[in-house]
């Protein structure tokens, strides 16, 4: 009996060892638990709440000055586009995306490439499309890597080999593309479309993660009212439009922000601007134009709407609401609330009840906001007089179409209770085109100047000249009392009081762009710079050569790492830092520094 007991014990140990060595699978439980566990970075915002917060604290305010380079990887990202993706980390491997939808896997211990997959997108595909051949990230689920591509395909690759498992075309409009990171919720891959400048019709959809079969689609603007509406929400939305908007698509493309509450089982999606930009051509009789510039909450299994909140009714300024959002639980005025926090382009910070969609509070997070005087008790903007362009009158508006906050993720630290927003202040002259004709599949902004067409190499061509306006552009009423624009900024925002705790500004931008990362070490990373998250004191900085992208943090072999992309083509690299790292930072070749 003793012999057999020994054999059984030995077999049990072998099973334990085998299970310990088996790679952990990214499944529903892993994604739900991501908020509590800090070792890996499994989804775009690290957790379903999109907090961009790491609970790791091996690197903290007392030792962050010891950060040094562990390794870097030269990505050889294709020409013509920035790298904007946030990488993911699982089982010792980093996964991510480059320009032109090139996907990769890299060994996080050595910085050596494991595999690389190029979908070979035709370069002429973005000849007319905003805003370059970018991709903001991938998703992981049950042994596969998922990504949306510029040509509209949703693809699933084998996580170990990078081989294509399945692909499906998701787009209907010739001017639409996909640039945002996809998410996986309850076995479904959620993907939106981009291209409101082409006046396409916005939608987001759910596809079965195993087979690629579409489960449901939610359109963000109504189609032709003479035909049956695809879902009941479109009949309601159509009442807020006028004219023949459907012939020009309408816009509303949900090209970035998503979040998910697994307890409430609600998926939140931000929607984009109107197409064309001005309602004069899009919806000449006015109207709120639902669901432009809104947060839409749906059930992830059916796509049925739970609630919506429109942040910029009747958008005229490219004020998208696709900027990253954050879910958190906090006490506000003595009451525990489940909130959704959002800092869209329009310059106002919103705190919503994420279960009901109720407006809790909101205020300006940008100093200069001239298009609206504030928000009313229900969160609707109080528009400034003279804030909309007419055929005979151009207007100068702050913020401009780049927004006070764009695609760069903000982060939330439960340690400090603050949201860290990377933004910018600017203005733009909105001047309607003297004549406008809709052309399917090309840019249809209805504006003079501004964004020219995209060339095959991804660069922007100069816009065609327009005759001078009969009257000079003016600013809305009250603009003269607003502070002057400061350029780039980084603000620590208290969502409970709707007040800033601290702010850093820089006229030429701040830290080379990119989003923020908050950690339990009381640190805030923005590009290759670390601040005291409580005070804003700069504690560590290194020069990576510009154009930095959102950092992530994870633990490997008992050490905490910080990884981010930096530099443009042809020198884009993935940099990884660790305490007491001693590798030299590769110099930017002198002949390429200006590119």
Q: Does residue 228 have a pLDDT over 90?
A: yes
Confidence of residue 456 (pLDDT cuts 50, 70, 90): very low
Q: What is the DSSP string of 256-276?
A: S-EEEETTTTEEEEE---EES
Would 463 be classed as within a structural domain? no
| pLDDT tens, position by position, 164-222 | 999 999 998 877 899 999 999 999 999 999 988 888 999 999 999 999 999 999 999 99
Would 436 be classed as within a structural domain? no
**Predicted pLDDT of residue 455:** 38
Q: Are 452 and 463 in contact (CB under 8 A)?
A: yes
Percent of the chain with pLDDT over 70: 90
Nearest to 135 by CA among 162, 190, 97, 182: 97
**Predicted pLDDT of residue 467:** 52
> How many CB atoms within 10 Å of residue 467?
7
Mean pLDDT value across the chain: 91
> How many CB atoms within 10 Å of residue 2?
6
Looking up tokens 């499944």 gives 27
Q: Which residues are catalytic?
A: 318
Q: Which domain holds residue 556?
A: 50-86+514-595
As a whole number, mean pLDDT of residues 532-542 equals 97
SS3 content of the chain, % helix, strand, coil (to 5): 10, 35, 55
Would 54 be classed as within a structural domain? yes
Confidence of residue 407 (pLDDT cuts 50, 70, 90): very high
How far apart CA 67 and CA 494 sit, in angstroms, is: 29
What pTM was computed for the model? 0.93
Identify the weakest region by mean pLDDT among 349-353, 396-400, 465-469: 465-469
CA angle at 564 for the pair 563 and 567, rounded to the nearest 5°: 145
Nearest to 354 by CA among 373, 371, 336, 370: 336
**Predicted pLDDT of residue 533:** 98
Would 185 be classed as within a structural domain? no
Overall residue count recorded for the chain in this entry: 595
| pLDDT tens, position by position, 10-48 | 444 443 443 344 568 999 999 999 999 999 999 999 999
Would 521 be classed as within a structural domain? yes
466 or 324: which carries more pLDDT confidence? Answer: 324
| pLDDT tens, position by position, 115-135 | 999 999 988 756 556 678 899
How far apart CA 282 and CA 272 sit, in angstroms, is: 14
Would 143 be classed as within a structural domain? no
Would 550 be classed as within a structural domain? yes
**Predicted pLDDT of residue 174:** 76
Q: Does residue 3 have a pLDDT over 70?
A: no
Q: Are 262 and 338 in contact (CB under 8 A)?
A: no
341: Cα within 13 Å, side-chain hemisphere:
29
As a whole number, mean pLDDT of residues 445-454 equals 63
**Predicted pLDDT of residue 470:** 57
Per-residue H/E/C for 494-511: ECCCCEEEEEEEECCCCC
Look at strands 203-208 and 335-342 and give their pairing.
Answer: unpaired
Look at strands 516-519 and 305-310 and give their pairing.
Answer: unpaired
**Predicted pLDDT of residue 252:** 97
Would 570 be classed as within a structural domain? yes
**Predicted pLDDT of residue 506:** 84
**Predicted pLDDT of residue 22:** 58
Q: Are 252 and 38 in contact (CB under 8 A)?
A: no
Q: Is the peptide bond before 464 cis (omega within 30 degrees of 0)?
A: no
**Predicted pLDDT of residue 245:** 95
Q: Does residue 364 have a pLDDT over 90?
A: yes
Using a CB cutoff of 8 Å and minimum separation of 24, what contacts does 475-479 make? 475/370, 475/386, 475/395, 475/396, 475/397, 476/370, 476/371, 476/384, 476/385, 476/386, 476/387, 476/395, 476/397, 477/384, 477/385, 477/386, 478/370, 478/373, 478/384, 478/385, 479/370, 479/384, 479/396, 479/398
Q: Into how many domains does the chain fold?
A: 1
As a whole number, mean pLDDT of residues 228-241 equals 97
Q: Does residue 593 have a pLDDT over 90?
A: no
As a whole number, mean pLDDT of residues 243-268 equals 96
Confidence of residue 444 (pLDDT cuts 50, 70, 90): confident
Confidence of residue 595 (pLDDT cuts 50, 70, 90): very low
Identify each DSSP E strand in 365-486 by its residue range: 372-375, 381-383, 395-397, 411-413, 418-424, 428-430
**Predicted pLDDT of residue 442:** 76
Q: Are 514 and 434 in contact (CB under 8 A)?
A: no
**Predicted pLDDT of residue 129:** 62
């Amino acid at each position: 009996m003793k012999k057999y007991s020994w054999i059984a014990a030995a077999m049990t140990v072998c099973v334990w060892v085998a299970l310990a060595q088996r790679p952990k699978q990214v499944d529903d439980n892993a994604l739900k638990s991501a908020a509590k566990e800090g070792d890996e970075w499994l989804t775009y915002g690290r957790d379903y709440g999109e907090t961009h917060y790491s609970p790791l604290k091996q690197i903290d305010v007392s030792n962050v000055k010891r950060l040094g380079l562990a390794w870097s990887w030269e990505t050889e990202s294709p020409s013509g586009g920035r790298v904007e993706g946030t990488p993911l980390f699982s089982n010792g491997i980093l996964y991510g995306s480059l320009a032109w939808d090139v996907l990769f896997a890299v060994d996080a211990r050595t910085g050596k490439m494991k595999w690389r997959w190029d979908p070979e997108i035709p370069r002429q595909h973005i000849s007319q499309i905003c805003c370059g051949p970018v991709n903001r990230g991938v998703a992981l689920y049950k042994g596969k890597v998922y990504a949306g591509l510029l040509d509209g395909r949703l693809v699933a690759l084998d996580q170990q080999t990078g081989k294509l498992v399945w692909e499906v075309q998701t787009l209907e409009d010739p001017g639409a593309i996909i640039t945002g990171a996809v998410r996986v919720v309850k076995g479904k891959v959620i993907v939106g479309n981009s291209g409101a400048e082409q006046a396409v019709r916005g939608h987001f959809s759910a596809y079965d993660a195993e087979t690629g079969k579409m489960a449901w689609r939610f359109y963000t603007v109504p189609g032709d009212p003479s035909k049956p509406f695809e879902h009941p929400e479109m009949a309601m939305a159509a009442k807020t439009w006028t004219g023949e908007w459907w012939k020009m698509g309408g816009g509303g493309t949900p090209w970035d922000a998503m979040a998910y509450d697994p307890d409430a089982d609600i998926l939140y999606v931000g929607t984009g601007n109107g197409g064309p930009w001005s309602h004069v051509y899009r919806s000449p009789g006015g109207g709120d134009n639902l669901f432009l510039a809104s947060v839409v909450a749906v059930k992830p299994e059916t796509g049925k709407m739970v609630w919506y909140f429109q942040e910029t009714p009747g958008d005229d300024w490219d004020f998208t609401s696709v900027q990253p959002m954050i879910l958190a639980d906090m006490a506000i005025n003595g009451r525990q609330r489940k909130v959704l926090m959002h800092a869209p382009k329009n310059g106002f910070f919103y705190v919503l009840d994420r279960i009901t969609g109720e407006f809790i509070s909101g205020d300006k997070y940008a100093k200069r906001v001239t298009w609206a005087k504030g928000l009313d008790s229900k969160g609707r903007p109080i528009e400034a007089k003279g804030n909309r362009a007419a055929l005979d009158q151009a207007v100068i508006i702050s913020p401009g179409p780049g927004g006070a906050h764009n695609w760069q993720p903000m982060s939330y630290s439960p340690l400090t209770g603050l949201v860290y927003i990377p933004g910018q202040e600017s203005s733009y002259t909105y001047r309607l085109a003297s004549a406008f004709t809709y052309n399917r599949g090309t840019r249809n902004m209805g504006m003079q100047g501004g964004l020219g067409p995209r060339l095959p190499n991804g660069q922007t061509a100069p816009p065609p000249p327009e005759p001078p306006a009969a009257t000079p552009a003016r600013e809305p009423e009250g603009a003269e009392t607003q502070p002057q624009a400061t350029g780039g900024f980084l603000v620590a925002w208290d969502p409970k009081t709707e007040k800033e705790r601290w702010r850093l500004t820089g006229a030429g931008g701040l830290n080379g762009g990119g989003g923020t990362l908050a950690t339990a070490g009381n640190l805030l990373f923005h590009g290759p710079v670390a601040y005291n998250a409580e005070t804003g004191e700069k504690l560590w900085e290194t020069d990576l050569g510009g154009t930095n992208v959102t950092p992530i943090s994870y633990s490997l072999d008992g050490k905490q790492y910080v990884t981010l992309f930096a530099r443009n083509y042809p020198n884009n690299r993935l940099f990884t830092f660790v305490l007491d790292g001693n590798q030299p930072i590769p110099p930017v070749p002198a002949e390429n520094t200006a590119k």
